[in-house]
Amino acid sequence: MSAHGPARRIAVIGGGPGGLYAAVLLKRLDPRREITVWERNAPDDTFGFGVVLSDETLGGIESADPAVHHALEQEFVRWDDIVVGHRGRWLRSGGHGFAALGRRRLLAVLHTRCTALGIRLRFRTQAPPAAELARTHDLVVAADGVHSATRTAHAPAFRPRITGHRCRYVWLAADLAFDAFRFEIAETRHGVMQLHGYPYAPDASTVIIEMREEVWRAAGLDAPGPAGLARSLDRCAAVFADVLGGRPLRSHHSAWTAFRTVVTDHWSHGRTVLLGDAAHTAHFSIGSGTKLAVEDALALAACLRERPTVEEALAAYEAERRPVVESTQRAAAASLRWFEELAGVVGQPPRQFAFNLLTRSRRVTHEGLRVRDAGFTATVEKDFGCPPGTPPMFTPFRLRGLELRNRVVVSPMDLYSAVDGVPGDLHLVHLGARALGGAGLVMTEMVCVCAHGRITPGCTGLWTDEQAAAWRRITRFVHEQAPGTAIGVQLGHAGRKGSTRVMWEGMDDPLPERNWPLAAASPLPYRPGVSQLPHQLDRAGLTAVREQFAAAARRAASSGFDLLELHCAHGYLLSGFLSPLTNRRADAYGGTLANRLRFPLEVFDAVRAVWPGERPMTVRISATDWARGGTTAEDSVAIARAFADHGADAIDVSTGQVVPHERPDFGRSYQTPYADRIRNALGVPVIAVGAISSWDDVNSLLLAGRADLCALARPHLYDPHWTLHAAAEQGYTGPGAPWPAPYRAGSRRPPTGRTDAPRPRLALD
């Protein structure tokens, strides 16, 4: 074993940038290593044209191998701006910072470095199978790309999951150097097409043309063979003639294809390790796969230096890189979906559209753009209607006769602490504290419309006058002690998810005793073999439930609530009618989506009829079940449209919790694309929810037009004064977030002790 780490004989499968750079680093760390790189293509035979690398990646290269960094520095084209072309306008945002070079030049630099270090390069040579190489080598680095033969051969070990997507794209070049990263949107008679372009040489730019597959086919760009490709490129060049300056598009082994997201459960198998696209892919719209591969190589080399065995090094490599890659893949997925749904937002005003595009992955935010380009961000804020010095989250918003002083909502949070449905002191303190904390709207937990509609024995209700009186105490406190804060009630019925223990004693676990009968759209237990079997509501039962909702709404009105939300999400009773996974009825309330909507709409109409006309009503829906065969994105838009047509003033767009086998795609703001889709498809106000964790997220979502209000739960558990603190941290002191008089002395962050020592006044060599 080398003093510098394990693995003396190393085989690298794939001569792309990731594989070559891994070979360079491993040889640099131990010159005695015998390293061979197999590449089936010729040295300059490569897919694509330009490669973008971040300053962070370049910093890692500079530290690890100054010679490679110096050679790359001579080749880079650098620029700072992004230009968005939209409906005849070009909007420019600066301060971003990019560096790119030609892929062939990058490979040439790495070939030269490999040769200088004594690494064997075998071009035009198919590598032996990884299993064969592993018998004669200490380490096999499989950098053989998105179509990795190594990953396929050992699929049971690596457990890859490959997902196709709905756009077609082609990787091209044009003989001109853009002065910025260009996003050009073309609205053709066939549909929306987009161009992604950036310079990679003083006289050349990478150009990627992308569009939904149905647009690609309708435009006749799917003709097969080289002649068909050539005709499609000519047509694309004509569509984007303005940005291309009339120049043609050229290809090199180019082909129209659909992006494939690769995720692997394990990155190593014995002595074989996956690197770059062989292990993971991230959509090109957020950057270069080369960047991830180079960073993989840096981490792999470091772990082999630091760990005593190959096995430990490969485990450490995956542990270090997987969280970074997964974060990148989440951002890439958000960006990919944004471009897939481009037709739904292209009608936005130009500056808002540009801001939406720039923040699509959630990695670039309102605050980040403000720092990079304050002028651009200020114009977007002005278009949005922000008064001078007012962040977007502190602009008012009107729903029917209710004006909210800001866009922050305290999301419903079940406390499971009521006695016989009566809210107590904890509810007063919980809701009162958050009202004093500055939010524009504070929502109750789900308030149940009958005793048998509770989730747990600790759930609150509005089926008795005693409960209504207790709620009146809470609304009076909010209105008197936090004037300007609105308080809303969420009405619901647990359906098949009722009669369970409180959350901290076993969420969704049935009560050990004193259970009550459950009712649902269909006789399906929530957790088969565990949960109680509900009975299917018949006509009399449906009528009774509808009247219970109406009676609860009357009590809510007399209790002084400013807004009422109908809970049609999360697998509770009304949600159970909407989802095809939970509604198996054969009558007029089951089958088609129109039938599945029938009972929730009957309940909505009954509630709206007794709820005061000047007070708004919202509806919370699960926009996806996160499960095969469940509610689709198209269904969610249709559901939202139906409620809006019946008079809903806003749609509160949540997801999931409908079936226990769901597989949510968790991540920061992960549910907001569903709100975005509904808002831009229907023009109806939406409330976005789901891991919105910072005031920067709130500002970004609002300014991009993805939401009108943002509901936050856990941040308000962590900090009841979250909204006031958000105002203080942004230096905002206006009417959107007034501090209660007794709290004004705390409106600035308390001073802390010094952690730095005074610097010397004079320093002498």
Catalytic residue IDs: 572
Neighbours of 748 (CB within 10 A): 8
| Nearest Cα to Cα of residue 35 among 58, 56, 9 | 9
- C-beta separation of 84 from 357 below 8 A: yes
Beta bridge partner(s), residue 474: none
CA–CA distance, 609 with 602 (Å, rounded to integer): 11
CA–CA distance, 732 with 748 (Å, rounded to integer): 11
DSSP codes of every residue in 207-230: EEEEEEHHHHHHTTTT--HHHHHH
Q: What are phi and psi of 489, to 5 degrees?
A: -115, 140
Q: What is the dihedral of CA 453, 459, 463, 469, to 10 degrees?
A: -170
CA–CA distance, 543 with 603 (Å, rounded to integer): 9
- Residue 609: exposure state from Cβ atoms within 10 A (0-12, 13-18, ≥19): exposed
Beta bridge partner(s), residue 188: 191
State whether residue 636 is helix, strand or coil.
helix
Alpha helix (H) ranges present in 662-721? 672-682, 695-703, 714-718
| Nearest Cα to Cα of residue 72 among 56, 84, 61 | 61
- C-beta separation of 676 from 706 below 8 A: yes
CA–CA distance, 366 with 701 (Å, rounded to integer): 9
Which helix (H) or strand (E) segment is 622 a member of?
A: strand 617-622
CA–CA distance, 289 with 52 (Å, rounded to integer): 9
Q: What is the three-state SS of 539-593? A: HHHHHHHHHHHHHHHHHHHHCCCCEEEEEECCCCHHHHHHCCCCCCCCCCCCCCH
Opening angle at CA 308, ends 307 and 311, nearest 5: 80
| Nearest Cα to Cα of residue 521 among 576, 586, 592, 581 | 576
CA–CA distance, 362 with 342 (Å, rounded to integer): 16
Single-letter amino acid code for the residue at 119 = I
Report CA torsion sign: 436, 439, 441, 444: negative
Q: Which residue has the tokens 């595009």?
A: 357
Which helix (H) or strand (E) segment is 60 a member of?
A: helix 55-64
- Residue 727: exposure state from Cβ atoms within 10 A (0-12, 13-18, ≥19): buried
CA 223 to each of CA 186, 216, 238, 545: distance values in angstroms, whole numbers, following the listed order: 21, 10, 17, 57
- C-beta separation of 50 from 206 below 8 A: yes
Q: What is the three-state SS of 382-441? A: HHHCCCCCCCHHHCCEEECCEEECCCEEECCCCCCCCECCECCHHHHHHHHHHHHCCCCE
Alpha helix (H) ranges present in 240-309? 241-244, 289-306
Single-letter amino acid code for the residue at 436 = L
